[in-house]
Structure 1
Amino acid sequence: MTAVGPTGGTARAWAELLRLPALFTVPGDALAGAAATGAAPGRRTAWAVGASLCLYEAGMTLNDWADREEDAVARPHRPLPSGRIRPGAALAAAGALTAGGLAMAARARRPALAVALPLAATVWAYDLRLKHTAAGPAAMAAARGLDVLLGAAATGGPVRRALVPAAVLGLHTGAVTLVSRRETEGGSSTAPLAALGVTAAVTAAVVGRRGAHDGPVRAVPGAARATLAAGYAGTVAPPLAHAVLHPSPVLTQRAVGAGIRGMIALQGGLAARAGQPGTGLLTAALAPLAARLARTVSPT
């Protein structure tokens, strides 16, 4: 028997709407941001992670609500156009998740709420207005960068030290978003080729020399940082190369999925780069869980 949720949709439908495998890409934002300030993960970091998870899922839900008419043609199997979840229930969930995220950010620390507010505004602006404009990828990049700064702000440490990891994760997110714009029709090698260049630059940033704002100087085991950077590049680059050579919808979708999964290793690499290889490896341990769940629920 299929479990029925309180808003009338099945558990499976809500898992698809929320894209649960992609949820594992979220905690690493706050962890990387906290690591950049030199702080070890603590209770306030946990509140920041909770806020990030809520705001991320608010965006996922609002995305499908805003695209329900378009999905009725291109993706009729999605939860809203298929009728498995009511549009009103999805919109209500997006609002509740946003409120919950802001409440958790307030519990973390007042500066965290000051970052969460523009993050929530960016999420809603992207889904309702910017997604199909030229500003779409930049808005997604900004949202991911703000999510990293949220983790830094929750620690009470200097947020400026998290600007580099925020920019790196934002750059990767913008590239993946650009590729995702053609995932239903394919036909273009331009976006995946550009994303390949971004992947190379991001990998170099993780394994390269630390900058002046990357946190206090500590001995960082090079092996952990190099391993995580290699895991990121090995996950993201091959599917992008395939999409460049054969830009079909299937290969483009695989490249987008790989870009989402690879974010976990990237977050771990940035934490290791900031002097916390333990946090980096802990973050990377989420990747197998995301991959396992992605076999039954699509992350895109």
Structure 2
Amino acid sequence: MRARDLAELVRLPAVLTAPGDSLAGAAAAGWPHGRRSWAMPVVSSCFYLAGMALNDYADRDLDARERPERPLPSGRIRPRTALAVAAGLTTAGVGIAGAAGGRTALRAAVPVAAAAWTYDLATKQTLAGPATMALARGCDVLLGAGGRRQALLPACAVAAHTLGVTWLSRGEVHGAAPRAGWAALATTTAAATSAALLPRSSRRARAAGIACAAGYAVTVGRAQARAAKHPDASTVRAATGVGVRGVIGLQAALVAGTGALGVAAALLSAGPLARAASEVVSPT
């Protein structure tokens, strides 16, 4: 197994969209894990990579017909290897959460992992699929918050974004109905509005939060509007890619509003990197 094959399996560029979930939760809750707050983004990343590997394991028969170039149907990676990668990364994430945050973090980490595995193995092809994935990302925000209620609104914003992107992504191969694009645009608008209207720690934080939310809404919303007007497979696939990367802007808006402008800036810097890396390895 080559490193490039493994990177394709786990959609490596897209992992840059994961740390912001727990950072948004931590910022909203006042950094409950203290000096160990760094560990929660690592946990989020482990779960994200595990979910991507498990996705390909679960879809290996479907991909053999629709996406034969992927690592499993092309024979570059064996199914049992993909499953082992998913299990290993999930175990690592749970272990890091327990070691760094104790029982509190462990109680928050297990639902994230459970939702991700449920999505890939049970609900992905059902009507409950997008909601299950949204639940996973919302719980990931609460992971950073140690389960504190202050992060409920940020968690709902990230979950709303995920719901729309996941629903639209179902049309990546065969195209989608126009309503999928409009629905995704609606969830993006709701998420951006929520991020912009959250209580702010200062005028400077409010301005930064609104600016990030507006940038997110324009970037992601424009691509989703194109997909609604022209819902062919290539346009939907492009909008999905923008949506996957675009959550970084939403995360930055949520973090900036708490006054953690340095963290928000660091998140935004990951956007161009993810976009450049996506030219080498597809994030979807």
**Counterparts of 1:209 and 1:17, CA distance in 2:** 37
Q: Structure 1: which 5+ runs fail to align?
A: 1-8, 211-216
Q: Report the equivalent of 1:214.
A: none
The one-letter amino acid paired with 1:259 is G
* Greater mean alpha carbon deviation, residues 102-111 or residues 217-226: 217-226
The one-letter amino acid paired with 1:133 is T
The one-letter amino acid paired with 1:145 is G
1:172 CA displacement: 0.5
The one-letter amino acid paired with 2:97 is A
Alignment partner of 1:218 is 2:218: no
Q: Report the equivalent of 1:168.
A: 157
Alignment partner of 1:184 is 2:177: no
Where does structure 1 differ by over 3 angstroms across 4 or more consecutive aligned residues? 40-43
Contact kept? 1:38, 1:275, Cα under 8 Å: no
Q: Report the equivalent of 2:82.
A: 90
**Counterparts of 1:85 and 1:27, CA distance in 2:** 27
Identity %: 49
* Greater mean alpha carbon deviation, residues 50-59 or residues 268-277: 268-277
How many residue pairs get matched? Answer: 282
Alignment partner of 1:229 is 2:213: yes
1:127 paired residue among 120, 131, 151: 120
Q: Structure 2: which 5+ runs fail to align?
A: none
Contact kept? 1:229, 1:269, Cα under 8 Å: yes
Q: Report the equivalent of 1:245.
A: 229
TM-score (norm 1): 0.91
1:188-237 deviations in Å (ceiling 9; x for gaps): 11111011111122221121242xxxxxx621413311221122112201
Q: Report the equivalent of 1:115.
A: 108
Contact kept? 1:31, 1:41, Cα under 8 Å: no
1:150 paired residue among 128, 143, 146: 143
2:18 paired residue among 6, 12, 26: 26
1:44 paired residue among 36, 39, 51: 36
1:183 CA displacement: 1.0
1:125 CA displacement: 0.9
Q: Report the equivalent of 1:62.
A: 54
Q: CA RMSD in A?
A: 1.4
1:239 CA displacement: 1.1
The one-letter amino acid paired with 1:225 is G
**Counterparts of 1:118 and 1:247, CA distance in 2:** 34
1:41 CA displacement: 8.1
The one-letter amino acid paired with 2:53 is T
Contact kept? 2:31, 2:37, Cα under 8 Å: no
Contact kept? 2:157, 2:190, Cα under 8 Å: no
**Counterparts of 1:219 and 1:48, CA distance in 2:** 26
TM-score (norm 2): 0.96
